[in-house]
Amino acid sequence: YYGAIINPVDLRHFDALPRALIGVTSDGEIAWLEKDVEDHQVQDLLAKHSWSDVELFALDKWDWLMPGFIDTHTHACQFPNIGIGQQYQLLDWLENVTFPTEAKFADTAYAKQIYPSVLTRLISNGTTTCCYYASLHLESTKILADIAHASGQRAYIGKCNMDRESPPTYIESSPEQSVADTEALIKYIRSLPTTLVHPIITPRFAISCTSLLLHQLGALAAKDPTVPIQTHISENLAEIAFTKSLFKDCETYADVYDSHGLLKHNTILAHAVHLEPREIELIKTRNAGISHCPTSNLNLSSGSVKVGEMLDKGIKVGLGTDCSGGFAASILTVVQHASIMSKVVSFEARGKVNSTASKSDSTFADKPLPVATLLYLATVGGARVCNLQDTVGSFEVGKSFDALRISLNPRTKNPGISAYEDPSGFKGADSEKLLRERLEKFLFCGDDRNIAEVWVAGRLIGGQNFSG
Ligand code: GUN
Ligand code: FE
């Protein structure tokens, strides 16, 4: 591929390369990447890499390539009720809106009807890796795994474990049943002919699991340490109070997971809105990752997350849509809300008399998140949360080509965001600045209409230009 590339580097930097040449093998691996390549140098560079016979894709002057988005937390079985129930807070929302929807997945025909559109919707929004919660049902969750496999997306798929504090029509009969179904799902997903779809242990949250069930899931994770874990933590104040009343031996919410062997380097914790300082320390010590879900946290009135503090502590953070707590399937919307939420956090910090906010430029706490940080969270940050940082998240030699072609061409169906642009493309003197500005525009005003192509492991799987 020859053309413009956006590539996240670290929390504060991204490369905007107006004229890059990137070599992708037929297996979808990035073999080499050359920067600052003029048109007349392309053939010589291909020859240098002994790639003279390969197919060359030259990007349009309105387009660039960037790594695909990583959604570290969403509920495939809640897509039918996206966009309703925003009057509730978490526990009432679960009871009134969410559990009744998820219960419908007892019927595998319903799963077959709903799940294909979930995959299509997420892929067309540029999500190349996704961590899914399914319902508690084994058979419907196998169907989700089949559909994810067929779609070509990189995915982690778990069935919810929930053996208490759930409605009679939507609860597992015993811890043993819950664990047996989890083991059966792990076995099933591992039998699929895929390197992209993986199982994940999914205790829904502490409230919906007995201590016995959590212990058994912790034992399962210890026995098979390559299976990651995902759950919710400290999302809502009523939830936290109820959790502490159910686990009287545990001092904090994080202790509940830790004392059951479920807080590990491959645990993904969604939300983390109201963590106490000692919980943040414990999460850091265990090297667990946080899925930041600001759209959901705003929508369900859960609160704002001190993401900057977590980043300052070196905790792994990625982004999550948390559909349907969040009403958007696109990581772009989550980026926008992460930005807005960080600004709200900064206003609140300014109002504090003894603000502990550091004035140093080298910290993130209590400050708006910069564009480079937002891009990083949506890509490399998510990859780190999934322990996939050696495979995806950025364009580096040896990583997989999980990529998006973004187009701000005025001929796209979202022409408004490029209508005011200089149409000369990225060849002029200011091309790097222009590319950086266009990325910012895309992050804040773009949508699926600007995502022309979506590749996972080099295979084209979606986007406006994809015909199926
Ligand atoms: N906590 C337990 N279950 C859920 C869920 O489905 N969504 C969210 N946002 N929080 C939860
Ligand atoms: Fe969730």
Q: What is the pLDDT of residue 354?
A: 53
Q: What is the pLDDT of residue 415?
A: 81
The CA 17 to ligand 2 mean position distance, Å, reads 36
d(CA 199, CA 201): 7
Please work out whether the CB of residue 73 comes within 6 Å of at least one atom of ligand 1.
no
Please work out whether the CB of residue 165 comes within 6 Å of at least one atom of ligand 1.
no
Task: Please report where in the chains the tokens 């982004």 appear, as a residue.
Answer: 319
- Give me 291's structure tokens: 């899925």
- Residue 136 identity (one-letter amino acid): L
Q: What is the pLDDT of residue 110?
A: 98
Q: What is the pLDDT of residue 361?
A: 77
Kindly list the averaged pLDDT for each block of 10 residues, start to end, along the chain of length 468.
98 97 97 96 96 94 96 98 97 98 98 98 98 98 98 98 98 98 98 98 98 98 98 98 98 98 98 98 98 98 98 98 98 98 94 60 94 99 98 98 95 81 71 93 96 98 93
- Give me 331's structure tokens: 């990581």
Please work out whether the CB of residue 104 comes within 6 Å of at least one atom of ligand 1.
no
d(CA 268, CA 73): 8
Please work out whether the CB of residue 232 comes within 6 Å of at least one atom of ligand 1.
yes
Q: What is the pLDDT of residue 358?
A: 53
CATH architecture of 69-385: Alpha-Beta Barrel (3.20)
Please work out whether the CB of residue 296 comes within 6 Å of at least one atom of ligand 1.
yes
For residues 38 and 18, the answer to whether their CB atoms sit within 8 Å is no
Ligand nearest to the CA of 239: 1
Ligand nearest to the CA of 90: 1
Please work out whether the CB of residue 126 comes within 6 Å of at least one atom of ligand 1.
no
Task: Please report where in the chains the tokens 């910069």 appear, as a residue.
Answer: 370
Other C-beta atoms lying within 10 Å of the C-beta of residue 432: 15
The CA 323 to ligand 2 mean position distance, Å, reads 7
For residues 217 and 260, the answer to whether their CB atoms sit within 8 Å is yes
Atom of ligand 1 nearest to the CA of 75: 6
For residue 271, what are the β-bridge partners? Answer: 233
Task: For residue 441, give the nearest of 369, 336, 354, 286 by alpha carbon.
Answer: 336
pTM: 0.97
Q: By three-state DSSP, how is residue 33 classified?
A: strand
Handedness of CA 70, 75, 77, 83 (dihedral sign): negative
Q: What is the pLDDT of residue 355?
A: 53
Atom of ligand 1 nearest to the CA of 90: 10
Please work out whether the CB of residue 205 comes within 6 Å of at least one atom of ligand 1.
yes
Closest CA to ligand 1's atom 3: 204
In degrees, rounded to 5, the angle at the alpha carbon of residue 319 between the alpha carbons of residues 198 and 417 is 120
Handedness of CA 327, 68, 306, 131 (dihedral sign): positive
Question: Is 411 exposed, middle or buried, given 0-12, 13-18 or 19+ CB atoms closer than 10 A?
Answer: exposed
Q: Which CATH superfamily is domain 2-67+394-462 in?
A: Urease, subunit C, domain 1 (2.30.40.10)
Atom of ligand 1 nearest to the CA of 296: 9
The ipTM of this complex is 0.99
Expressed in percent and rounded to 5, the helix, strand and coil fractions of the chain are 40, 20, 35
Q: What is the pLDDT of residue 463?
A: 97
Q: What is the pLDDT of residue 419?
A: 72
Give the residue extent of every domain in the chain: 2-67+394-462, 69-385
